[in-house]
Amino acid sequence: MQLLTGKEVTEAVYVDLKKKTIDFIEEHGFAPTLAVILVGNDPASQSYVKGKKKACISLGFGHRDYSLPEDTSQEELLSLVKTLNADSSVHGILVQLPLPKGLDENLVIATIDSRKDVDGFHPETVGKLLIGLPCFVSCTPKGVLEILDYYKIETQGKHVVVLGRSNIVGKPMAALLMQKGRDATVTVCHSKTKNLKEITKLADILISAIGKPFFVTADMVKPDSVIIDVGINRIEDATQKRGYRLVGDVDFEHVKENCLAITPVPGGVGVMTIAMLMKNTFQAAMQLSQKDNQ
């Protein structure tokens, strides 16, 4: 069994990005810059935002943090997004989700300039992804592809089963894998899928993104399969200082004995997400600086 660690892949991504960032700054006189908007005081969201800021600093990126109160109005939030759209010194814009109740996430995402949509959630971005045009790929699916590429796991002609149909992971993951160049045969399963175990046991590559701890058991996978666990779930654990620990959708300890390769949780796909956000931000800075020079 091969362990597919996101940490190893992330380190390789960051080494490459640091070199490219130094060259970019020397050429343009400014750094790729990410603006992150956080509304409210959700602890998990605050933690994610801190991680993104830390990554920006380590790479030499510029970063703008906007922390707005829980009672921020739709108009105030949209006004800030539009201001950042017009700010040429900002190359990527990310609004941390979920937003507090009363705020329209879809409207906020659609208001972000698609050229700065480094999260890959804008409707225009999603449309381009579906028909195979160049675009920002949402960070978690992009991280999965980066892991597959790093470990030289072939997708061409393989049967990939995706558990989950979310807009953030499941749908873009399936769309990416069926594109020319990836050439996988993709089956998407969800809560209404019948005979799920029979389907997952046909998978050459099984990607789980359903948010249910230990859902994928050893009897659901075939021995020569590759298991990509996107799930990050909190379960109570009195032995931990925090009172909980993070686990995936996959029953790792048992499944690892019955597969060819597997990602751990934590330390697998999760750590890739911010790395891919940084890659998208650098890409945005490159594209916007090129247009400015034309």
Q: Which residues contact 98 (CB under 8 A, 6 or more apart)?
A: 42, 45, 105
Q: Which of 96, 113, 117, 279 is catalytic?
A: 96
Identical fold between 32-113 and 139-270: yes
119 is a catalytic site residue: yes
Amino acid code (one letter) for 215: F
Supply the pLDDT for residue 291.
65
Mean of the per-residue pLDDT values for the chain? 95
Q: Which of 52, 116, 158, 171 is catalytic?
A: 52
State the pTM of this model: 0.93
pLDDT at 19 over 60: yes
pLDDT at 38 over 60: yes
How large is the average pLDDT for residues 193-198?
96
pLDDT at 128 over 80: yes
Say how many residues make up the chain: 294
Q: Which of 113, 119, 204, 251 is catalytic?
A: 119
Higher pLDDT, 198 or 241: 198
pLDDT at 294 over 60: no
229 is a catalytic site residue: no
Specify the CATH number of the domain 32-113.
3.40.50.10860
Buried b (16+ CB within 10 A) or exposed e, 28-59: eeebbbbbbbbbbebeebeebbeebbebbeeb
96 is a catalytic site residue: yes
The tokens describing 92, both together, are 């990527």
pLDDT at 55 over 80: yes
Domain range list for the chain:
32-113, 139-270
Supply the pLDDT for residue 292.
60
Among the four given CATH numbers 3.20.20.70, 3.40.50.720, 3.30.1330.10, 3.40.190.10, the one describing domain 139-270:
3.40.50.720
